[in-house]
Amino acid sequence: MVPTNYYLILSAVLFGLGVLAFVFKRNIITIFMSIELMLNAVNLAFVAFSQALGKTDGEVFVLFVIVVAAAEATVGLGIIILTARNRRSLNVERVDLLKL
Partner 1 sequence: MSAALLIFFVLAGLAVFGAVALILQSHPIHSALSLILVMLCLAGLYLLMGAEFVAAVQIIVYAGAVMVLFVLVIMLLNAGEEERTNFSKLATFAGVPLALALGGVIAAAIARSSGHLPAPAANGALTPTRELSKLLFSEFVYPFELTSFLILVAILGALVLAQRERN
Cβ atoms of 65 and 42 within 8 Å: the answer is: yes
Answer for which of 3, 87, 96, 98 binds partner 1 (CB under 8 A) is 3
Any residues with CB less than 8 A from the CB of 6 and at least 6 apart, and which? none
**If you write DSSP's letter for every residue of 7-59 in order, what string do you get?**
HHHHHHHHHHHHHHHHHH--BHHHHHHHHHHHHHHHHHHHHHHHHHHT-SHHH
Query: Residue 35 Cβ, how far from partner 1 at the closest point, in Å?
Result: 11
Nearer to partner 1 by Cβ, of 80 and 95: the residue is: 80
Site pattern 29..58 for partner 1 (x: CB under 8 A) = xx-xxx-xx--x--xx--xx-xxxxx-xx-
> Which residues bind to partner 1, rule: CB under 8 A?
1-10, 12-14, 16-18, 20-21, 24-27, 29-30, 32-34, 36-37, 40, 43-44, 47-48, 50-54, 56-57, 59-60, 62-64, 66-75, 77-82, 84, 90-91
